[in-house]
Amino acid sequence: MKLFVGLGNPGGSYARNRHNVGFMAVDAIAAAHGFGPWRAKFQGEIAEGRLGNEKVLLLKPGTYMNLSGDSVRAALQFYKLEPGDVTVFHDELDLAPGRVRVKAGGGHAGHNGLRSIDAHLGPAFTRVRIGIGHPGDKRLVSPYVLGDFAKDEAEWVDDLLRGIADGAPALAGGDSAGFLNAIVRRLPPPDKPKPPSAKKDAPPAAVVQPEPERTALQRLVYRFR
């Protein structure tokens, strides 16, 4: 069995926050793959189903972000799983919006949800880092992550969540590359750089006219000129 954990804060007021993109990810997986209904357990909500050949438990901790580890540890102990069986979906400030990376182990980089899980499990779990971008000033981080995705971000967020759901069976089977490729197929290709336009005031290129062919007499005259 695998445990997929989405990080976020419970309650409708947080539902579309950037900080809740982990919740959104596991919701998308549950909906796309016919998981059972969400039900209360382990200080959060769980849904059970299958991804490919793997039985998977989806978990949304209901403890608020900074206590997420309490819920994750309870589920881990109940099912007698190892930290290596756990994959955590979370927002990532240090990745551009829409970029996703998969990483086994590592630090928490100041993310309170990861910090809490690390304190209970150690670092040996897999992270799915979902880029939300950075506001550019650390003083703006808190209102930024606790703010909703903007209306003009809705299209790429929805495409991203569909891609995560598409690739979830590959991720459960240990194929990170297949998971990431599924996301790439859902997202629009990046804009191609436009070729530089010609300068309007640039002088026209010089036209080289071919030299006319001379007769033998002309060549003789030109030689002794």
Six-digit token pair at 53? 């050949």
Q: Are 27 and 164 in contact (CB under 8 A)?
A: no
- How far is Cα 113 from Cα 119, in angstroms, rounded to an integer? 10
What is the C-alpha R_g of the chain? Answer: 28
- How far is Cα 1 from Cα 79, in angstroms, rounded to an integer? 8
**Residues with a known catalytic role:** 19
Q: What does 182-196 look like in DSSP terms, one character per residue?
A: HHHHHSPPPPPPPPP
- How far is Cα 90 from Cα 113, in angstroms, rounded to an integer? 8
DSSP structure class, residue 210: P
Six-digit token pair at 15? 């539902």
